[in-house]
Amino acid sequence: MLPLSIKDDEYKPAKFNLLLKLSSWFRSILADKTSRNLFSFLCLNLSFAFVELTYGIWSNSLGLISDSFHMFFDCTALLAGLAASVISRWRSNDSFSYGYVRAEVLAGFVNGLFLIFTAFFIFSEGVERALEPPDVHHERLLPVSVAGLLVNLVGIFVFQHGGHGHSHGEEVSLVWTRSDNITDFLYGLWSVSVCVFVSVCVCLSLSLIIFFFFSVPDQYTPGKGSSKQILQGVLLHIMADTLGSVGVIISALLMQKYDLMIADPICSMLIALLIGVSVVPLLRESIGILMQRTPPSLDHVLPECYQRVQQLQGVYNLQEPHFWTLCTDVYIGTLKLLVAPDADTRWILSQTHHIFTQAGVRQLYVQIDMAAM
Amino acid sequence: MACGPNRVRLLCMLSLTFGYFIVEVVVSRITSSLSMLSDSFHMLSDVIALVVALVAVRFAEKTRATNKNTFGWIRAEVMGALVNAVFLTALCFTIVLEAIERFTEPREIDSPVLVATVGAVGLLVNLLGLCMFHGHAGGGHGHSHGGHSHGSKNKKAKTSQNAGNGSTVDETNNLVGNHNSPGEGRPTNELNCNDDTEVQMNGNTHYEEMDAQQDSSQLNMRGVFLHVLGDALGSVIVVINSLIFLFVWRPCGSDKDCVNPCVYDHDSHLPVNQTMLPMKSAGPCWVLYLDPTLCLFMVTILLYTTYPLLKESALILLQTVPKQINIHRLNERLQRLNGVLAIHDLHIWQLAGSRIIATAHIKCHDPTSYMEVAKRIKDFFHNEGIHATTIQPEFVTFSSQSRDSLCELSCQTQCAPKLCCGTADKQSSEKKVSGDSRSGAADPVCPESEAKVTVTKEAESSL
């Protein structure tokens, strides 16, 4: 009798694989400190945005709804950074012979582009409001802005550098309602309850972050430079928001004390310019890497190395050197050496590798061309 | 000239769009219409996209290598395409935001006639742009490099047999303008599209240059085309919306009795009371919701068409193996070549368009037979369409008959993570060098001892 065996493995439902994939991603996020931070901050931001959205729909306030969507827009930048930090750790395969390490450079670049777009958007909104002052809405934005500043402070604590607060579109509408807000704030009992509700949410997210910080151990520490681009992009986003908050406060003061209505649009335009200017270094670096430029840190070292290689015995000439950055601190180089037919190729090869490894180029491809006699 | 038409088209479109942007701004100031102002900013973003594409085209013409950019600026076009795609996505996002705002708080159009005419003029401008860039829309040129390289490879094989070491200079002349010594920096000639010095080496380099340039600029032009398409769709929606508004909507006018049921008014809290006199109400409410719905529809179309461009340019920038190359099969066929013992660290990536670069370590028997093996390998890669290759030879030492796939550049353990060859050799190299003499363990520059080890081995082998 032939044994009848049904292999259940082949008939697994697709849903099981999805759960498996999700859990493996989640584990991967929790493993690395940077991605843990990003994830917790993303959760905080998302929860705050949802709170704002629900409150806005409930009180039918246009400014709050649009501001919550601006926050979602910022969340996508955080999401891009998180995705990049997870993806860049995947192993190489047939399609990606270098692995996925370039993802972080790309994420930094895309973040920079989003920031420029946001700056452009704020600038255009500022121009619109300067040319046509909007109606003053009765919106209770003060408790929301207080909570936003809280989120900013949490961000400062989490990332140890900057904080990510509420988004920029809000500041523009905030100032116009400033004079109304004081009266509103003095009025409503329920605005205080909203405040309480929002701070409860903030505390909840804070506790989530603390839980992540102290409960999950560091399984392995990544190289220091490996997430530099991502963090730089996120940090710039945070700085942009901080600038926004500062600008709002300044313009509100100007408006209340000196009654300068024009202060608000001018502030938004200044903020937009500042954001644009601050993004330039990140963009320049990522563009340099993506354009296969010679690594800037090697700019002075390389001519020296070329000289040393050309002085090796048997080497006639060094041709077509190409050195480029794969990702932060990983440099790859190719070059061609014209050697005498009787030269000791093995020795030349190992010496060349030695010279360039001292300079910091780990992956080197040296092609040997023998000169015709 | 290959560069000419693209630049001319871009400049034309740029001037048209910019002029139209000025017109919209002026009209919006005259009529003090906010929607016109926001639409003019959309036009401004279009101008910026065109500027980005133009800059990318200008940069990518500088195919000569410079001191800092040894590959030239060819990648600029891929970057231009990515920037355009990302801007389009961000623009779609903001349109979604505005559409949702309109859903929650519908707004009437103040002067539909004016909006309709301005929208129609904008549509004309965009249709003109679409016609200009239509030739570059996805899949316009069927320049499969496989087909093209067959024509040139025969000639290339002949010339590479003639010149001994000139063949290496040949290939990279195809790729970038060559500069021999690293210390020199030649000034780039911007207007020189077809580089004459590159033609002199090989007659058909000229065609490859043009073809490669067209292929990579195709990506950039696709980005521009998609942007103009998005704008055209936007103008279509503006026109349709304003026309429907003009003919279907019954406005309230200056009637005091009229109330607008579609717009939730914060101030007036009128109770819905059936016993009151029937008031006049403004026109059918669905008209106000037409605009955001059409906007969402347009956003889905745009995202659907932008996604392939985004994916393609991102994959190139992530250094993927080009999709037309099967690296596994290539590896197998390479290993079957005469004289090739093993291959490792094979990397193939795309610089831009059809310019593909490959690097590998190849293990061979000895230096004397190496030059023929090298020629065979180069020809093999040329057949595949990869014209810029750097092959590092590694020669078998007397002791490593059994471990064919491992790196020959031996190293002590602390160098292993820094080696070009991966972790596969880590354990075996540990075993290998355990018997060798080691210099001070505190020495951070380990390859020094590596050189010594190799030298001693060679001294032994020569005995």
Give a yes or no: residue B363 inside a domain: yes
Residues of B in contact with A98 (CB under 8 A): 319, 347, 349
Instruction: Using the 3D structure, point to which of B336, B365, B395 is the last residue of a domain.
Output: B395
A308 touches chain B (CB under 8 A): no
Which of B318, B340, B368 lies at the terminal end of a domain, its last residue?
B318
Q: Same domain, yes or no, for B378 and B239?
A: no
- B368 and B237 both lie in a single domain: no
Evaluate whether residue B266 is within a structural domain: no
Chain A closest-CA separation from residue B101 CA (Å): 7
Burial of B399 (0-12, 13-18, 19+ CB in 10 A): exposed
B66 with B15, same domain?
yes
> B86 lies in a domain?
yes
Spell out the domain ranges in chain A: 25-92+99-162+186-291, 297-370
pLDDT of residue A206: 55
Is the pLDDT at B454 greater than 70? The verdict is no
Find the residue in A nearest to B172 (Cα).
Answer: A320
CB pair distance less than 8 Å for A354 and B346: no
Same domain, B341 and B361: yes
Q: Could you list the residue range(s) of the whole structural domain that residue B246 is in?
A: 5-134+222-256+280-318
8 Å CB contact between A305 and A337: no
For residue A325, give the H/E element and its range.
strand A315-327
Within the 95-124 window of chain A, which residues sit less than 8 Å (CB to CB) from chain B?
95-98, 100, 102-103, 106, 109-110, 113-114, 117, 120-121, 124
ipTM of the complex: 0.72
Which tokens is A198 given?
């929002």
Residues of B whose CB is below 8 A from A103: 318
Task: Find chain A residues with C-beta within 8 A of B360's C-beta.
Answer: 365
Q: What pLDDT shows up at residue B373? A: 87
Residue B27 lies in a domain: yes
pLDDT higher than threshold 80 for residue B416: no
Question: What does the alpha-carbon distance between residue A338 and residue A352 come to, in Å, rounded to a whole number?
Answer: 13
- A90 touches B at CB < 8 Å: no
What is the domain-level CATH number for residue B36? 1.20.1510.10
Per DSSP, the three-state class of A318 is strand
Together in a domain, B313 and B336: no
Taking the Cβ of residue A367 and every Cβ of chain B, the question of whether any pair is shorter than 8 Å is answered with: yes
> Token pair for residue B208?
């490859």
Asked if residue B380 and residue B241 are part of one domain, the reply reads no
Q: Are residues B362 and B386 in the same domain?
A: yes
Decide: pTM greater than 0.80: no
Q: For residues B87-103, give the mean pLDDT.
A: 81
Q: In this predicted model, what pLDDT tens digit does every residue of A177-235 receive, in sequence order?
A: 333 444 444 444 444 444 455 555 555 555 555 554 444 333 333 334 556 777 777 77
Whether the CB of A59 is below 8 Å from some CB of chain B: the reply is no
* Chain A environment of B170 (Cβ under 8 Å): none
pLDDT string in tens for chain A (373-residue length): 777 766 666 665 556 688 888 888 888 888 888 788 888 888 888 888 888 788 777 776 666 666 676 677 778 878 888 888 888 888 888 888 888 888 888 988 988 888 888 888 778 777 877 776 655 443 445 556 566 666 766 665 666 443 233 333 333 333 333 334 444 444 444 444 444 555 555 555 555 555 544 443 333 333 345 567 777 777 777 777 766 666 666 666 676 677 766 777 777 788 788 888 888 988 998 888 998 888 888 888 989 999 999 998 889 988 889 999 888 888 999 999 999 888 888 888 888 888 898 888 888 899 988 887 6
Chain B interface test: which of A109, A322, A364 (most B C-beta within 10 Å): A322
Q: Are residues B291 and B341 in the same domain?
A: no
Is residue B348 located within the same domain as residue B312?
A: no
My answer on whether B291 and B368 are in the same domain is no
User: Can you tell me the distance from the alpha carbon of A172 to that of A63, in angstroms, rounded to the nearest whole number?
Assistant: 10
The CATH-assigned architecture of domain A297-370 is: 2-Layer Sandwich (3.30)
For residues B312 and B342, state if they share a domain: no
Taking the CA of residue B386 and the nearest CA in chain A, the distance in Å comes to 16
Is-contact B16 B128, C-beta < 8 A? Answer: yes
From B395, B422, B446, the end of a domain falls on B395
Cβ pair B100, A65 in contact under 8 A: yes
Evaluate whether residue B201 is within a structural domain: no
Give me the number of domains chain B comprises.
2
Is residue B48 a contact partner of residue B283, using CB atoms and an 8 Å limit? Answer: no
d(CA A224, CA B233): 47
Per-residue pLDDT at B240: 86
Task: Look up the CATH number of the domain holding residue B384.
Answer: 3.30.70.1350
- Other Cβ atoms closer than 10 A to B231: 25
* pLDDT above 80 (res B318): yes
Q: Residue B421 domain-assigned? A: no
Domain co-membership, B245 together with B389: no
CB spacing of A349 vs B393 below 8 angstroms: yes
User: Among candidates A363, A290, A101, A327, which has minimal Cα distance to B390?
Assistant: A363
- CB-CB neighbors (< 8 A) of B390 in chain A: 334-336, 365-367
Helices (H) and strands (E) in chain B, counts: 13, 3
